[in-house]
Structure 1
Amino acid sequence: ISAKAAEGLERAFDFRVDQGGEAIRTLSVQDDGGAFVSPGIVDLTRADAIPDEEHFGPMLQIYRVKTFDDAIERANATKFGLSAGLLSDDAKKWDQFFALSRAGIVNWNRQTTGASSAAPFGGVGHSGNHRPSAFYAADYCAYPVASMEGEALLAMPKGQVGIKA
């Protein structure tokens, strides 16, 4: 969006590393003064005092947990809740994930970027307006969730480089 926004994202990544996060792929801003940022991945499992902040840019934060229930609990431990996604061929895990995830967009075997054309966008946490609105304003007893699903993972494009476990 801007050089200032790109530099802010780079500072957020560096802060996470300074707090004990492990840089799996270092995020960096191109030196041309523009707003292009290389994707960064940081493992925060052993990091200390990471603030609950929302960043818009190519920064993936990873927390390793022992169980699937722990993963859902960790994912819900935010005031935001914009999107959540599960990559799995286990339909029962998907049902559990969908039922327990606190996010406005909950996808199965699909990316969490972009949005379904079905409302809502932003969720009911601080990413959204904290409640259903517009068409759903009369339905205050529940909130809608948009979801894109697929029983199988999407094929990766040829030449795509993955992360080794």
Structure 2
Amino acid sequence: MHNSKARQNFMKECEDAINQQINIELQAAYDYMAFFTYFDRDDVSFPKAAEFFRKASHEEREHAEKLAKYQNKRGGRVCYDDIKCPKKTEFNGLEDAMETALSMEKTVNQSLLNLYKIAEQNNDPALCDFIQNEYLHEQEDAIKQFADYVTQTIRVGNGLGEYLFDKMTLN
């Protein structure tokens, strides 16, 4: 065990849950890199989608860093797990990618809700506040955005519709 001078009212269960969330965010960042590199390929060539997913990867990595800084602030220790190879590195168009991303964001959101519940059960209002203000609202926005994109990519279809979606919607 460690002897942090900053640790106060910070239970091991909360520390472990934060570590789990850090690793989930890093996995999402890695997965979004696969989206980026797929859409950046010359035989796929959706440049706005590539940039959109590159930014999504960067954002997930920032989420992990913010959680790691919070863990240190509270006197916890960051523990990293192995990051697995992305489950999908090829997509059947933008609709498939948006559906996959929507599912990922829902998984991340559920994990954050579980973290919030653990914080509540351990009487940690500071952690509850941090998760709610820094993550939950943003996750709701991301889920809505990807749900909209799924609907829109279905509506426009493949071919020219995807091209126009990439060119005019993703920025």
- The answer to whether the superposition gives a TM-score over 0.5 is no
Of structures 1 and 2, the one scoring higher in RCO (CA 8 A, sep 6+) is 2
Structure with more helix by fraction: 2
The structure whose Rg is larger is 2
Structure with more strand by fraction: 1
TM-score by length of 2: 0.23
